[in-house]
Amino acid sequence: MTRPAVAHTPAERRWTPEPGIPRAAGHADSPVAGHVLGTVSALQLYDEALAAHLSGLPLVEVLVWAAGGPPVALALHRWCAAADAADRVALDRLRAALPAHARVLDLGCGPGRHAAYQQGAGLAVLGVDSSLAAVALTRRAAAPALHADALGRLPGRGAWDGVLLLDGNVGMGGNPRRLLLQAADLLTPGGRVLVELDPDGVTDCRWLQLGDGGRVSAPFPWARLAVDALERAAAGSALVVTCCWSEHGRRFALLAPA
């Protein structure tokens, strides 16, 4: 049987197992073992769901699962809604640590709820997302956004007062160390990174797949990072944890250049 052609995202192509991060149950070093092969990339499937929403259709259900695990609904409704109470507390804490009119980069901004909240509070925000529809939704939510890979070359190296990695986004690409290194590289010397951590205290890296009823995506890597693994993950990027807190069952941390 021939393998179907799969359009991989940059993160899918680039992923290598990260030293020191345990593999979750069902994890395989190969994106093929343990998975049904998908014929569509996760990015395409996600992007199409958001594009339909952008055109005025109700949000479709997109499922996500790890190999051998149960499917759960992707939180599209939450990402397309306004920032919630826990988000606002976290974003206000970040803002309190930054100068007035600070410049903030939202890595993996999705439909833009955090970017829009910060923009409304007087900060200069730029969302970054690999989904064109997410970028369009962010712009519609009144915040500028860039269609780019969060792990690739981004504008304003050393010029951003704040970097957001919210709602599990520290797991993008399956390599939190690399993402924190990227964030550190983008920050001003007095800047801060706002990171949301795994609420259940799990640190691992898994291959996930998306499904939308008819289709199954190719696997893509995604990590989870617990608070007790944060210092270690941040050490290579010369970031130090300045505070950690829980809010509405969620875990957040602020990091600053050492």
Ligand X SMILES: C[S@@+](CC[C@H](N)C(=O)[O-])C[C@H]1O[C@@H](n2cnc3c(N)ncnc32)[C@H](O)[C@@H]1O
Binding residues (CB under 6 A) for ligand X: these are: 11, 46, 79, 108-110, 113, 128-131, 134, 149-151, 166-169, 172-173
Closest approach of Cβ 2 to ligand X, in Å? 28
Closest approach of Cβ 187 to ligand X, in Å? 18
Whole-angstrom Cα distance, residue 226 to residue 232? 11
Closest approach of Cβ 47 to ligand X, in Å? 7
Question: How far lies 132's CA from each of 119, 180, 188, in Å?
Answer: 20, 24, 28
Whole-angstrom Cα distance, residue 229 to residue 241? 11
Taking the least distance from each CB to ligand X, the nearer of 111 and 191 is: 111
Closest approach of Cβ 14 to ligand X, in Å? 9
Angle at 119 between CA 116 and CA 120, to 5 degrees: 85
The closest of 244, 145, 148 to 197, measured between CA atoms, is 244
The CB-nearest residue to ligand X is 110
For residue 208, the cross-strand partners are 66, 220
The closest of 93, 80, 76 to 247, measured between CA atoms, is 93
Taking the least distance from each CB to ligand X, the nearer of 87 and 161 is: 87
Dihedral sign, Cα of residue 78, residue 79, residue 82, residue 86:
positive
Closest approach of Cβ 151 to ligand X, in Å? 5
Helix axes 113-120, 85-96, angle to 10 degrees: 50
Taking the least distance from each CB to ligand X, the nearer of 189 and 249 is: 249
Are 10 and 130 within 8 A, CB to CB? yes
Closest approach of Cβ 166 to ligand X, in Å? 5
Amino acid of residue 89: V
Are 204 and 24 within 8 A, CB to CB? yes
Taking the least distance from each CB to ligand X, the nearer of 46 and 252 is: 46
Taking the least distance from each CB to ligand X, the nearer of 59 and 231 is: 59
Closest approach of Cβ 21 to ligand X, in Å? 17
Taking the least distance from each CB to ligand X, the nearer of 46 and 207 is: 46
Taking the least distance from each CB to ligand X, the nearer of 151 and 183 is: 151
